[in-house]
């Protein structure tokens, strides 16, 4: 099975990963990523079109799977 993830760099903190994590944790759609480790390296918000595409793909694939954090 081919997924969107196979098209993108899925490193922790990267655009695809952040999109998927934002959906999972009920956060708003906000394209961004981290230069290295999440929250311990600089956050990048001025993304290239390819980085925005990767973020969107991560968010939308997570949404299609429907898996979200149960905070209850």
Average pLDDT, stretch 23-50?
97
pTM for the full predicted model: 0.90
Whether the predicted pLDDT of 26 surpasses 60: yes
Distance CA 58, CA 4 (A): 7
Share the mean pLDDT of the chain.
93
Whether the predicted pLDDT of 19 surpasses 80: yes
Please state, for a pLDDT cut of 70, what percent of the chain lies above it: 93
Distance CA 31, CA 53 (A): 9
Average pLDDT, stretch 34-41?
95
Contact criterion met (CB below 8 Å) for 52 and 68: no
């Amino acid at each position: 099975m081919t997924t969107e993830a196979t098209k993108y760099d899925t490193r922790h903190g990267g655009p695809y990963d952040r999109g998927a994590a934002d959906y999972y944790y009920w956060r708003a759609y906000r394209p961004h990523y981290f230069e290295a480790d999440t929250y311990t390296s600089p956050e990048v918000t001025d993304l290239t079109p390819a980085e925005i595409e990767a973020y969107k793909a991560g968010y939308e694939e997570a949404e299609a799977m429907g898996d979200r954090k149960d905070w209850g």
